[in-house]
Amino acid sequence: MKVIFKIEKGLWEEILTHLSQSNPVAYEQVGFLSCGAVLSKDNTLVILARRYHPVSNNHYLADSTVGACINTDAIITALQVSLSGKCSMFHVHLHPHKGQPEFSKVDYDSNHKLIPDFFSVTSHMPHGAVVLSFNRGKGMVWLSKYDAPVSINEFMVVGAPMKTWQISSPPRKKSIRDFSRQESFLGPESSEILSRIKVGIVGLGGGGSHVVQQLAHIGVKRYTICDPDKVENSNLNRLVGATVNDVRHKHLKTRAATRVIKSLVSDAQINVVDKKWSSGLAYLTDCSVIFGCVDTLKVRDELERFCRRNLIPYIDIGMVVRKNDDGFFRISGQVALSISESSCLRCMGILNEEDIKEEAQSYGDAGGQPQVVWSNGLLASSAVGIFMSLICPWSSEPANILYEYSGNEHTLISSLKCKYINKSKCPHYTCADIGNPFFNLKKFFPMKKTCTIGMRSIIQKIKDYYARNNRTIKVLDERS
Amino acid sequence: MTISQQGFQELQAIYPCARILKESNCCYIYFSEMNISSDGKVVKVEALLDCTNKDTKLYLGTRFPNKGQNWTEHAIIGKKWHTFSYSGVSNRLRLIDILADHLRVLE
């Protein structure tokens, strides 16, 4: 099982600020993080940090032998947060340096004493401990009170730009592709990042097919692609990679997209959801970024909610052709980035209840709307550009969150709305929405029988006793 | 729109499993197990009642293809749901009446 730890950039900075401060009693400060969790279809457990709970100054005990010693009140407070919020709790502390931090022997021992207690109040959630440095982190997660913890394999600080690192990454196969022309400015590690992260593309029509093609060109290896539709003759004016043969054989759009990806990235891992995207939620939960290339407002709304809940940056593209009063047409559209702690599609004015309701009354019928390849391509290219500026930034200027397209003037400009909406915190989403409220560890990892666990613990105690007395014991069979 | 405490307690008297969940600006009542009688059989399903909007909506964990019309699929609170086309049940009604009105379609 793989474990990913995700945290919003603002929350990450809040924790570092608190932990960097001096404490009147202890050498260092500590805190707890309340978290949600979700499990993906391929058995990746994603821990989603919600809120930081610093340990109050009067809950520290004077102890010169350790960095920080907290009293029972601090632990009771953390247990109460876990109980009332039905959430995971992670103990957090800082090793004040840059680079990969490691748990010390004291950290390791005290975490083993403290963390299993959280299962007494919230047994259906994982709990754990995280040690941070100024730019990295390391962690361990308990899935039950009795079993040994597992390591967190990957960290992701979600913001613009995103920061992601792997703990003890396996050796990477050398790619047959030569990415030197992009690595030169995206960074030598860009190819490794692009081959590691997973990208979701919902909707593989005019916009989505361009996105898929470009992601494959830049070297993304892991995908979840969703579209229930077959390639139709009327799609060929804009669906990149689709052929007359696909129409003739009634191939699915996911098949055309898979072919495009595999032709550029032969070892790509592709989760195909050839039903409505809502049937593939478990394939999307561990994505690093999701592109929404969909027709309806309702799907946009639900996709954005899903992404916010799972701390996934959501990049939305949309285009429309409208008839003017003079009988001519106007092509317009937008590329929007919806990311935690920043404005959402509602803040940007892309979604509102009236339009969603009006669309629902017409049964969300967006079929037959005019769509053209050059506009789709331009919007998709910009969306991929925003994606790259998040994942492998090449400039100190972050991407804006909303770009408006005029197909008549052939311009894509940063929306004037950005000036106003960037400053205000999104009122539509809160950290309480993060994580899956239906998550239950016991559903995925059934508890082992207590007697077995008790026996293991007894055997360990015996082994420890013999080790202390410089003798060895050989256990032939744990059941014996 | 907030859910009235009294209305929610009435609902909980019948469905003790009822629980309030929020997403974005919407408030839902989640039922981990609801008995729905359809075609003479009683089926246990998960259900989600959206009473934030003026027109309320009942989402179910499974479809009842022989009942209701225009079934659609939705992703709400990280889970897949099905609902049928049925509008006009106002959120001004008592919660218990809202639920009963929606369930009537499945009878």
For A362, the 3-state DSSP assignment is: coil
Tell me, what amino acid is at A244?
V
Res A450: pLDDT: 46
Per-residue pLDDT of chain B (107 residues; tens, 9 = 90+): 578 888 999 999 999 999 999 998 889 999 999 998 877 788 899 999 998 888 899 999 999 888 888 899 999 999 999 999 888 888 889 999 999 999 988 87
- Say yes or no for a CB contact (<8 Å) between A438 and B78: yes
CA distance, residue B100 to nearest chain A CA (Å): 23
CA distance, residue A302 to nearest chain B CA (Å): 6
Interface test with B, best of A294, A306, A308, A345 (most B CBs within 10 A): A306
Contacts 24+ apart (CB under 8 A), A446-455: A447/A144, A448/A144, A448/A146, A448/A147, A452/A478, A453/A146, A453/A147, A455/A479
DSSP state of A367: T
Omega of the bond prior to A96 within 30 degrees of 0, cis? Answer: no
For B101, the 3-state DSSP assignment is: helix
Q: For the ranges A57-61, A386-390, A440-444, A463-467, which has the lowest average pLDDT?
A: A463-467
Closest-CA residue of B relative to A40 is: B78
- Say yes or no for a CB contact (<8 Å) between B76 and A38: no
Res A468: pLDDT: 63
- Say yes or no for a CB contact (<8 Å) between A357 and B55: yes
Res A476: pLDDT: 45
- Say yes or no for a CB contact (<8 Å) between A437 and B75: no
Contacts of A279 in chain B (CB under 8 A): 73, 80
Residue A365 binned pLDDT confidence (cut-offs 50, 70, 90): low
Q: Has residue A313 got a pLDDT over 60?
A: yes
Nearest 10 degrees: Cα torsion A440, B49, A434, A209: 100
Q: Has residue A473 got a pLDDT over 50?
A: no
Q: Please identify among residues 31-90 of chain A the ones whose CB lies closer than 8 Å to any CB of chain B.
A: 38
Residue A372 binned pLDDT confidence (cut-offs 50, 70, 90): very high
Contacts of B25 in chain A (CB under 8 A): 428
Contacts of A364 in chain B (CB under 8 A): 72
- Say yes or no for a CB contact (<8 Å) between A438 and B23: no
Res A387: pLDDT: 97
Q: How far is CA A154 from CA A46, A138, A163, A250, A431, in A?
A: 10, 9, 11, 40, 21
* Selection from A273, A281, A277 nearest residue A255 by Cα: A273
- Report the pLDDT averaged over residues A326-332: 94
Whole-structure pTM value:
0.91
Q: Considering only the beta carbons, identify the residue of A302, A346, A364 that sits closest to B76.
A: A302
**Any A CB within 8 A of B77 CB:** yes
Res A466: pLDDT: 61
**Any B CB within 8 A of A352 CB:** no
